[in-house]
A and B are shown apart, each in its own frame.
Chain A
Amino acid sequence: MSAARDANAEAAHWLERREFESWCEADETELSAWLARSWEHRVAYWRLKDAWEHTERLSALRPVSPKAAAAPAPRKPFRPMLFRLVAATIAVAALGAGAAIYFSGGNGPRETVYATQVGGHQTVQLADGSKVELNTNTVLRARVGAHERLVTLERGEAYFQIAHDPKHPFVVMAGDHRVTDLGTKFLVRRDDKNLEVAVTEGRVQLDTPDGRLQSPVLLTRHEAAEVKGNKVFVTRKTALSLTNELGWRHGFLVFDHTTLADAVAQFNRYNQGKLVIADPATARLTMDGTFPIDGISAFTEVAQEVFKLRIERRGGNTVISR
């Protein structure tokens, strides 16, 4: 076996582990040490890493099912009644909402599922008077009553405006993380890997019930926490950048020195037809601007005019390249 083949095999092995396993500091240290050992290691790793990053575009090639594309009213939420409580709930619902809340033998309030499709946006009023705005492609389960206020964000993004009740903290679960509201307005967004919590008013506490986070993180107005793997990054945001981040509440995407890669990722959250950037240099261009959430054509026009990029339609997708 040749030296190059060894280096390639080891580099591929590192990438495979990084892709599939939870990555901790010790792993990062070990990888850095391996990379530091020789230029052969580094070039092998960089080359395969870049190839693997290219394959990320494959996710955009996923065929859009004709049924989903034809969905006429994306803003109308569907409510899958998935849960076992459902039969009991329906039976009791006839007695009136108030009864339903206290029903189910001490198991607490009933659970309601709210969901939006890609491009959807819905505001719901919870039983305690709190308001939740669901952004695109979001699923949220709520058990909210007089003694318990628990919401689980299964996926997507939601903006919470919580009715103040110091005796019964409002809790949002997102994967392993728990956000406890201390009287506030805040945003929670999660995707496959990351979680973001940003506070526009008041304070929240972020922790993990299983104690994986050693100490809870307290966030106040204009602070945001980004959870990546087992690290939490806390940043201060300006009022403007938070307003921009919440542009979706009014149907807008706001870009402020945003890379095309990030802008495209934003559009792709809201639209069935996906934008694809064909090369890394294009992905790194940055831009400012405000677009309607479904304004893909306005966006590609800007890309064409300002950056002289090529726009090509392929199937339901739009490919942007130099």
Chain B
Amino acid sequence: MAETVETSRGTGLFKPGATMTASEVEVWFVREVLPMEAMLMHYLHQNWRNKSDIEDLRQEVYARVCEAAQKEVPEKTKAFVLTTARNLLINRVRREQIVPIEAVADLDELEIAIDAPGPERNAMARDVLRKLQGALDRLPPRAREVVTLRRIEGLSRPEIAQRMGISEKTVSEHLTNGLCALADMLYGDASDLRSKK
């Protein structure tokens, strides 16, 4: 994935309207969409009351966005992600026969967020290292230990199991759970966003 030379910040690597190969979609998703996750989560939390649906909604937005982007790269990623999220919420409301009255805060208000300022992508990138450390600090201690032993000391699964006195299966579980939690904190943590309000 080293094929690109970027000379100035913010130049679009992906031409709006073009199609993408599967591996290009991955690069596009990681570069353009993942940095929007905190904003997307903020939006979903604001507009959908049932918190246990949020993870599903987020994933469905991603899936739809990628599927559409492969056929045609959207011009503005942020607007596209939020519009997709809004349409998804509206469809959910329509599809479900019984909708708790407070499920959607206010459909009219869904429009507004799209024009509101989003996170500054460069700022996010700059903060990755700090965020990473913060996220690591907040992991459950055993999961943190597994990640650290792997990444910093480069130990193998049996070595980690031995060092920590746990089974290899438990090592795997700590790593997979830790990874999911890390991703949530790395991308989805909207605390920066909220504190600006």
Contacts and interface: CB of A to CB of B under 8 A. Distances in A.
A203 B99 CA distance: 74
A44 B126 contact: no
Given A50-B34, A281-B6, A286-B2, A55 B182 contact: yes
B154 A57 contact: no
A43 B176 contact: no
Interface in B1-49: 1-2, 4-6, 8-9, 25-26, 29-31, 34
B59 A19 contact: no
A51 interface: yes
Given A55-B132, A55-B182, A58-B136, A13 B176 contact: yes
A46 B125 contact: no
Nearest to B185: A51
Interface in B116-166: 122, 125-129, 132-133, 136, 147-148, 150-152, 154, 156-157
A210 interface: no
Nearest to A319: B129
Interface stretch (B61-69, B74-82, B90-98, B104-112): B61-69
Given A54-B186, A55-B147, A321-B126, A9 B6 contact: no
B126 A322 contact: yes
A246 interface: no
B175 A19 contact: yes
Majority SS of interface residues in chain A? helix
B72 interface: no
A59 B59 contact: no
A38 interface: yes
Nearest to A3: B56
A310 B5 contact: no
Contacts of A55: 132, 136, 147, 151, 182
A52 B179 contact: yes
A321 B125 contact: yes
A259 B59 contact: no
Nearest to B171: A20
A322 to B, nearest CB: 5
B172 to A, nearest CB: 5
A76 interface: no
A19 B183 contact: no
A13 to B, nearest CB: 6
B196 to A, nearest CB: 20
Chain A interface extent, by class: 35 or more
Nearest to B11: A281
Contacts of B129: 57, 61, 276, 278, 314, 319
B55 interface: yes
Interface in A241-292: 259, 261-262, 276, 278-282, 284-286
A47 B183 contact: yes
A59 B176 contact: no
B195 interface: no
A7 interface: yes
Interface in A195-232: none
A64 to B, nearest CB: 12
A62 interface: yes
Given A39-B67, A40-B59, A259-B2, A50 B132 contact: no
Contacts of B6: 281, 284-285
Contact of B152 (A59, A284, A308): A59
Nearest to A258: B2
Interface of B: 1-2, 4-6, 8-9, 25-26, 29-31, 34, 52-53, 55-56, 58-60, 62-64, 66-67, 122, 125-129, 132-133, 136, 147-148, 150-152, 154, 156-157, 172, 175-177, 179-180, 182-183, 186-187
Return the 3 tightest CB-CB contacts between A and B, nearest first: A279-B125, A39-B63, A4-B59
Given A58-B148, A58-B152, A281-B125, 4 more contacts: A39-B64, A55-B136, A58-B147, A61-B152
19 contacts: A4-B59, A20-B156, A20-B157, A39-B64, A40-B59, A43-B29, A46-B26, A48-B183, A51-B179, A55-B132, A55-B147, A58-B152, A59-B154, A62-B152, A278-B128, A281-B31, A285-B6, A308-B9, A314-B129
